[in-house]
C-alpha cells in the first residue's frame, strides 16, 4: 500500500523538476511508513497514530530539504499530513477484511 500511495506523491516532484534523489526515496519511505503503521500499536486515535508515524519517518528528509530545497518543504508537509492517515485508513480496511475471513 505504501508503494501505491507513493505513486500519487511522486508525480508532482517529477512535474516540478525536482532532483531524482527524492523521487527514488519517496517510495521507499512510504513502504517503511506502511510497515510501521501496520506494526505499531499506539493507544491513540488511529489517524493521529498514522500521522505521527509518517512525520517521524519523513523528518530526516524534511530537514534535508529545508537545507537544500526549501521551496518543497510545504509540499512535503502537506503530502505527509494527507498520506499518513490515508495509508493508515487503507491498511485498517485491509486488516478488517482479513479478520472477517
Q: Cα–Cα distances in Å, from 92 out to 17, 46, 65, 84?
A: 34, 9, 31, 12
Q: What's the rounded Cα separation, in Å, for the pair 98 and 87?
A: 17
Taking the CB of residue 55, how many other CB atoms lie within 10 A of it? 15
User: Per-residue confidence at 62, pLDDT binned at 50, 70, 90?
Assistant: confident
Q: Does position 47 have pLDDT exceeding 60, yes or no? A: yes
Residue 59 has a pLDDT of: 87
60, three cell numbers = 530526516
Give 92: exposed, middle or buried? Use CB within 10 Å, 0-12, 13-18, 19+. middle
Residue 93 has a pLDDT of: 81
Per-residue pLDDT averaged across 41-56, rounded?
A: 87
Q: Does position 52 have pLDDT exceeding 70, yes or no? A: yes
Residue 98 has a pLDDT of: 67
Per-residue pLDDT averaged across 48-54, rounded?
A: 89
Nearest to 75 by CA among 27, 8, 7, 9: 9
DSSP state of 44: S
Amino acid at each position: 500500500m505504501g508503494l501505491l500511495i507513493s505513486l500519487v506523491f511522486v508525480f508532482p516532484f517529477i512535474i516540478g523538476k525536482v532532483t531524482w534523489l527524492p523521487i527514488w526515496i519517496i517510495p521507499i519511505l512510504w513502504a517503511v511508513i506502511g510497515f510501521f503503521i501496520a506494526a505499531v500499536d499506539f493507544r491513540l486515535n488511529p489517524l493521529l497514530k498514522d500521522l505521527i508515524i509518517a512525520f517521524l519517518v519523513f523528518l530526516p528528509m524534511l530537514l534535508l530539504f529545508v537545507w537544500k530545497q526549501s521551496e518543497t518543504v510545504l509540499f512535503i508537509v502537506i503530502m505527509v499530513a494527507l498520506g499518513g492517515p490515508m495509508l493508515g485508513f487503507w491498511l485498517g480496511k485491509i486488516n478488517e477484511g482479513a479478520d472477517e475471513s
